[in-house]
Chain A
Amino acid sequence: MNELDNGPRADGRRQLPLLRPADAEARPSRFKRSGVRSRHLRAHILVAGWAGLALLAATAQSTLPVARWLAVHLFLLGAATTAIVVWTEHFAVAMLHAKLPDQRWSAVRLAGVNLAVAGVLTGVWAELPALTVAACAGLVTAVAAHLFVLVRLGRGALGGRLAPIAAYYRTGTAALIVGAVLGGLLATGAAGAHTHTGLRLAHIHVTLFGWIGLPVLGTLFMLWPTVLGVRMHEATTATARRVLVCAGGGLAVAVTGLAADLRWAAVAGLAAYAAGLALALRLLVATVRRGRGPVSVAAAWSLAASAAWLAAGVAFDLVLLATRSESAAQDGVDALVPLILFGFVAQVLVGALTYLLPVVLSSGPKERAGLRAVLERGWAPRLAALDLAVALLVLPLPGPAATAGTVLAAASALAFLALVVAVLGHRSRPDEPSRTPVLLGTAAAVVVTVLAVLVAGSGGTGGGSDVAAGQPGGGVATTTRTVAVSLGNMRITPSRIEVAEGTALRLDVTNRDAQRHDLKIDGGPATALLSDGQSRTLDLGTITADRKGWCTVPGHRAAGMTLDIVVKGGTGSGATTGTDNTAGMDGMNGMNGMHSGSQGRGDGSTATAPDLAADFSHGWQPRSAALPAAPAATVHKVELHAMRRTVEVAPGVEQEMWTFGGTAPGPTLRGRVGDVFEVTLVNDDPTMGHGIDFHAGSLAPDKPMRTIQPGERLVYRFRAARSGAWLYHCSTMPMLQHIGNGMYGAVIIDPPGLAKAGHEYVLVSSELFLGTPGSTAQVAKMRQNTPDAWMFNGVAAQYDKAPLSVRAGERVRFWVVAAGPNDGIAFHIVGTVFDTVYKEGAYLLRPGGTGGSQALDLSAAQGGFVETVFPEAGHYAFVDHDMRHAEAGAHGVVEVR
């Protein structure tokens, strides 16, 4: 039997019935007693397990943002909640002199609470919102069942002087239901971002001051005199009633005020709570004055210290809420958490368990004293360490002090935990195997396994997806884009970043919020937890696919702190505030920066690859591929105007092109060897300079190929000394953009003695880059060489819609020039064999031999022709036999009749 059931003590002071009064009914059998004991044993193994896991999680909290949340909730929702559920039921039975509820159902409720808590913790940790919601619902159900039992215990029970204390338990349990619902809303973000701060404060207050504070306060009314070994104060019953009205009612008002953002209601409610607390403490202090020698000095000191920290915490909280705005107060309340967690909750657990565990786990006074001696081992240094730690953590001291505080608190908690494990594992009968080895073995293996899992999971998932070094090969320079990202108000701003595929993205992340945030990119880098004003740069490397980012602080992602990085194929930079740094252009002379004036058109149709099967718009005319014979004159005078034109470059797709003479490619010039070309270039483009470079002539580039500014003109005179199919193009840097946007054309110089053909065609192959010319997105596509289409004569798939027409048996010559800017061509005509191949000024194959050719291969800026005779009527496709190109526009049809 324990001393609490002893009835009148030697000095005549009646002790409190902490356990069900054994002599009220039949004396419990040994079996029944041991049943109660094993139930407490199991429950407190759970409590110790949760607390141990909390300590483990706390060691990772500097590196893992969710670890802090986990540590707090493992301790408060795991350890403290389990202890409170067990002891509130236990004490309610004792206070109300009620019948013990069915123990199997008690076990089911406790298991339900623990499973639900495990579910909540796993759900938040592993970011499984469905599990979190289900577990929250489970927790509410289990706790509601507990409340139901507490209420039913009061019905028809004998009641007693301490019956009002059961009301504390009911109120506290109701508070946990509210807290669980609020927590679920926060974790899943169902409440939305604007209410997050208020709901979070409400959640913290209702759980700490309601679920933990009220049952503890109620229990202290009778536990405090018991621990001190004195008679309860006569005013206890009346005071307990009054305190509950003040504190419980005040808390309800405070929580409602916080949730609804009614600051003064919150302050008033909290003030009422503080008043109630003060009343209770006054009674407890009055009780001390009667004492002579406490039953357990260690328990008494721990309980006293915890009550003092609770009072300090409530007072500080009241000042915070009264003097600061809600969002500013939130930061201060966060700082209060260690005070409540270590100073109040941990310490009250230490004090209560030091006294209570020996009572429930022992079967006689001797064993009880032995167990108590174990639990009180080194209590003074442990107590001093814990309270010093709380002071170090709460006071605004430099970093090392807080670290020392954490270490001290952890050491003190660990020491008590070890003692609890020793007590839980002790052998109550000599023949019974001790449980200590099992507990210690399990604990050691769990710790090692958790550490192993942490090590195994460290360093990301591998595969290099988070490494910025994954630049595409071939030395292609990528566009680097830096975007400023701010965190705050439950938003990541901007929440959407559009980049061209292949852009190297860098994020300058700054927290602009009172509370801490971080930013993690899916499968990529993450910032540390950032306090207000702190910044970090995240280097995401080259973006090739959509990425997601979010704040990993529990609940924040669900509340809306998400970031979408979207790969956009088409027009410009959109809504973001990026600074463009087109690395790699810096060394080049010319036009750098002059393109930035052009704005995105926001043309959604360019976001995806052109639909080549679609119809061209009404009235569209194909560019004739037919090549007229060279004029008879030997001097060719041409005026070319550099200008911008918006043209239909693929079925239904318009694109602004930079052109020579209004078309891309520019006009084809044709002559014979020795002819002179006198080209006057006029720059009609009002926004930038242009130049021209004819490959067909040889001369010093300095003057004729110079860039002329808008409105200027130059004369480019060259003699075509050699035959070939030549490219001409704009000579202004960056040429990639000038050629890529359409400034190219062909010069055909016939080789002497060129045979007559039935038909002659010229096909200039090139790549199409959609988007605003010169925009980051478009330039990135050029640099990555990821064109939207390939074209013959400036329009994708145009000769599919408007086939070239010849007769069977006719000799047909196809001149081909590869304008690039990057890709060459493997020109092939399906169903034919070339009997003549002329490439880069030389015949590779002439009719008459037995050999044949299947494709004319040209690198960028090469040219030549092939000849064939179509054998019979039909539809012969001509393609760039690089099939990526053929299937994306480099395709046409020769219709043979």
Chain B
Amino acid sequence: MGVGLWSLVRFLHVTGAVLWVGGQLALSLVVLPLSRRTLAADDRDALAARVGRRFGILTAALFLPLQLGTGWAIAWHKGVTWASLGEPGYGRVLATKLGLFALVMLAAAAHGWAHARHRPDLARALAVASLVGSLGVVLLATALPAT
């Protein structure tokens, strides 16, 4: 089988997930720790705020529509129905993955909200939860049989 339209759709879906999870990891493990060591407190907070805002905009404007669009298309192509989401196997794994993804998105949104409300501890907890949860989404995605 060669590279067709549907492999392109899957490519977009996987790449979107890679960029989002990878972006979070890079921010949490590289950018923010380094900024804490190298920048003054004010600069650091300003950087963190701007990084967070940009990542949030990218998420809402690009990542979410891309993932939802391509994910919907793949599900349609695969013949997934609402009823089949409840059935053991592919449907149930997909349904849990979607549920976990929704929770991750909620945590990410709540992170922005907490940050804006100057609740840094809560914001950090939500950011970490979102990151670890999105790894869980990837784990569940790999449990889906090849489409």
A interface residues, Cβ below 8 angstroms from B: 433-434, 436-438, 440-442, 444-446, 448-449, 452-453, 455-463
Please give me the 10 A-B residue pairs with the lowest Cβ-Cβ distance, nearest first: A462-B89, A459-B88, A449-B136, A441-B128, A445-B132, A437-B125, A437-B124, A441-B125, A441-B129, A456-B96
The answer to whether B46 has its CB under 8 Å from any CB of chain A is: no
Which residues of B lie under 8 Å from residue A455 when comparing CB positions? 92, 96
Which residues of B lie under 8 Å from residue A441 when comparing CB positions? 124-130, 132
Partner of B130 from the list A433, A438, A445, A452 (CB cut-off 8 Å) is A445
User: Residue of A at shortest CB range from B100?
Assistant: A452
A455 and B103 CA atoms in complex are apart in Å by: 15
Which residues of A lie under 8 Å from residue B53 when comparing CB positions? none
A445 and B96 CA atoms in complex are apart in Å by: 14
Partner of A449 from the list B120, B126, B133 (CB cut-off 8 Å) is B133
B92 & A440 in contact (Cβ 8 Å cutoff): no
Contact with A along B102-142 (1 / 0, CB 8 A): 01000100000000000011111111111111011001100
A433 and B126 CA atoms in complex are apart in Å by: 15
10 A-B contact pairs sorted by A residue (CB < 8 Å): A433-B124, A436-B121, A437-B120, A437-B121, A449-B136, A452-B96, A453-B96, A459-B88, A462-B89, A462-B92
Which residues of A lie under 8 Å from residue B124 when comparing CB positions? 433, 437-438, 441
Which residues of A lie under 8 Å from residue B99 when comparing CB positions? 452
A461 & B89 in contact (Cβ 8 Å cutoff): yes
A323 and B76 CA atoms in complex are apart in Å by: 66
Which residues of A lie under 8 Å from residue B123 when comparing CB positions? 437
A453 & B122 in contact (Cβ 8 Å cutoff): no
Task: Tally chain B residues at the interface, Cβ within 8 Å.
Answer: 34
A449 and B143 CA atoms in complex are apart in Å by: 13
Q: If A442-B128, A453-B139 touch, does A448 touch B100 (CB 8 Å cutoff)? A: yes
List 8 additional A-B contacts (Cβ < 8 Å) besides A434-B121, A441-B126, A448-B136: A437-B121, A437-B122, A442-B128, A442-B129, A445-B129, A452-B97, A453-B136, A461-B89
The answer to whether B93 has its CB under 8 Å from any CB of chain A is: yes
B132 & A442 in contact (Cβ 8 Å cutoff): yes
A456 & B121 in contact (Cβ 8 Å cutoff): no
Which residues of B lie under 8 Å from residue A446 when comparing CB positions? 132
A846 and B99 CA atoms in complex are apart in Å by: 73
Among B93, B131, B135, residue most surrounded by chain A Cβ atoms (within 10 Å): B93
User: Residue of A at shortest CB range from B92?
Assistant: A456
A457 and B87 CA atoms in complex are apart in Å by: 11
User: Residue of B at shortest CB range from A431?
Assistant: B41
B133 & A445 in contact (Cβ 8 Å cutoff): yes
User: Nearest chain A CB to B60's CB is how many angstroms away?
Assistant: 21
- Inter-chain CB contacts under 8 Å: number: 88
B89 & A452 in contact (Cβ 8 Å cutoff): no
Q: If A437-B122, A441-B132 touch, does A449 touch B89 (CB 8 Å cutoff)? A: no
The answer to whether B36 has its CB under 8 Å from any CB of chain A is: yes
Which residues of B lie under 8 Å from residue A449 when comparing CB positions? 100, 132-133, 135-136, 139
Tell me if B's interface is mostly helix, strand, loop or mixed.
Answer: helix
B128 & A445 in contact (Cβ 8 Å cutoff): yes
B128 & A456 in contact (Cβ 8 Å cutoff): no
Which residues of B lie under 8 Å from residue A463 when comparing CB positions? 89
A452 and B143 CA atoms in complex are apart in Å by: 12
Which residues of B lie under 8 Å from residue A440 when comparing CB positions? 125
A460 and B91 CA atoms in complex are apart in Å by: 12
User: Nearest chain B CB to A427's CB is how many angstroms away?
Assistant: 10
Which residues of A lie under 8 Å from residue B89 when comparing CB positions? 459-463
Which residues of A lie under 8 Å from residue B92 when comparing CB positions? 455-456, 458-459, 462
Among B103, B125, B136, residue most surrounded by chain A Cβ atoms (within 10 Å): B125
User: Residue of B at shortest CB range from A466?
Assistant: B88
A437 and B128 CA atoms in complex are apart in Å by: 8
Among B107, B136, B143, residue most surrounded by chain A Cβ atoms (within 10 Å): B136
B96 & A438 in contact (Cβ 8 Å cutoff): no
Contact with A along B64-93 (1 / 0, CB 8 A): 000000000000000000000001111111
Which residues of B lie under 8 Å from residue A436 when comparing CB positions? 121, 125
Q: If A433-B36, A441-B126, A455-B96 touch, does A460 touch B132 (CB 8 Å cutoff)? A: no
A462 & B87 in contact (Cβ 8 Å cutoff): yes
User: Residue of A at shortest CB range from B134?
Assistant: A445
User: Nearest chain B CB to A445's CB is how many angstroms away?
Assistant: 3
Which residues of B lie under 8 Å from residue A445 when comparing CB positions? 107, 128-133, 136
User: Nearest chain A CB to B100's CB is how many angstroms away?
Assistant: 5
User: Nearest chain A CB to B82's CB is how many angstroms away?
Assistant: 16
Q: If A437-B124, A449-B135 touch, does A456 touch B129 (CB 8 Å cutoff)? A: no
A238 and B32 CA atoms in complex are apart in Å by: 56
B87 & A444 in contact (Cβ 8 Å cutoff): no
A436 and B129 CA atoms in complex are apart in Å by: 12
User: Residue of A at shortest CB range from B91?
Assistant: A462
User: Nearest chain B CB to A616's CB is how many angstroms away?
Assistant: 49
User: Residue of A at shortest CB range from B99?
Assistant: A452
Among A444, A445, A446, A457, residue most surrounded by chain B Cβ atoms (within 10 Å): A445
A458 and B99 CA atoms in complex are apart in Å by: 15
A781 and B129 CA atoms in complex are apart in Å by: 58
A438 and B123 CA atoms in complex are apart in Å by: 10
A322 and B4 CA atoms in complex are apart in Å by: 73
B90 & A462 in contact (Cβ 8 Å cutoff): yes
Which residues of A lie under 8 Å from residue B136 when comparing CB positions? 445, 448-449, 452-453
A463 and B96 CA atoms in complex are apart in Å by: 18
A463 and B97 CA atoms in complex are apart in Å by: 20
User: Nearest chain B CB to A465's CB is how many angstroms away?
Assistant: 10
B88 & A458 in contact (Cβ 8 Å cutoff): yes
A462 and B100 CA atoms in complex are apart in Å by: 21
B88 & A462 in contact (Cβ 8 Å cutoff): yes
Partner of B133 from the list A437, A438, A448 (CB cut-off 8 Å) is A448
A444 and B107 CA atoms in complex are apart in Å by: 11
Which residues of A lie under 8 Å from residue B133 when comparing CB positions? 445, 448-449
User: Residue of A at shortest CB range from B96?
Assistant: A456
User: Nearest chain A CB to B33's CB is how many angstroms away?
Assistant: 10
Which residues of B lie under 8 Å from residue A453 when comparing CB positions? 96, 136, 139-140, 143
Among A452, A455, A456, residue most surrounded by chain B Cβ atoms (within 10 Å): A456
Partner of A456 from the list B103, B107, B127, B140 (CB cut-off 8 Å) is B140
A438 & B128 in contact (Cβ 8 Å cutoff): yes
Which residues of B lie under 8 Å from residue A434 when comparing CB positions? 121
A453 and B95 CA atoms in complex are apart in Å by: 11
A441 and B104 CA atoms in complex are apart in Å by: 11
User: Nearest chain B CB to A81's CB is how many angstroms away?
Assistant: 25
User: Nearest chain B CB to A60's CB is how many angstroms away?
Assistant: 16
A456 and B99 CA atoms in complex are apart in Å by: 11
User: Nearest chain A CB to B32's CB is how many angstroms away?
Assistant: 10
A213 and B95 CA atoms in complex are apart in Å by: 46
User: Nearest chain B CB to A95's CB is how many angstroms away?
Assistant: 38
User: Nearest chain A CB to B30's CB is how many angstroms away?
Assistant: 16
A449 and B124 CA atoms in complex are apart in Å by: 19
User: Residue of B at shortest CB range from A450?
Assistant: B136
User: Residue of B at shortest CB range from A463?
Assistant: B89
A605 and B104 CA atoms in complex are apart in Å by: 62
Which residues of B lie under 8 Å from residue A461 when comparing CB positions? 88-89
Among A433, A449, A460, A463, residue most surrounded by chain B Cβ atoms (within 10 Å): A449
Which residues of B lie under 8 Å from residue A438 when comparing CB positions? 124-125, 128
A460 and B140 CA atoms in complex are apart in Å by: 16
User: Nearest chain B CB to A439's CB is how many angstroms away?
Assistant: 8
B93 & A456 in contact (Cβ 8 Å cutoff): yes
Which residues of B lie under 8 Å from residue A452 when comparing CB positions? 96-97, 99-100, 136, 140
Which residues of A lie under 8 Å from residue B139 when comparing CB positions? 449, 453
A441 and B130 CA atoms in complex are apart in Å by: 8
User: Residue of A at shortest CB range from B107?
Assistant: A445
Which residues of A lie under 8 Å from residue B103 when comparing CB positions? 448
Which residues of A lie under 8 Å from residue B128 when comparing CB positions? 437-438, 441-442, 445
Which residues of A lie under 8 Å from residue B127 when comparing CB positions? 441
Which residues of B lie under 8 Å from residue A442 when comparing CB positions? 128-129, 132
Which residues of B lie under 8 Å from residue A437 when comparing CB positions? 120-125, 128
User: Nearest chain A CB to B45's CB is how many angstroms away?
Assistant: 12
Which residues of A lie under 8 Å from residue B130 when comparing CB positions? 441, 445
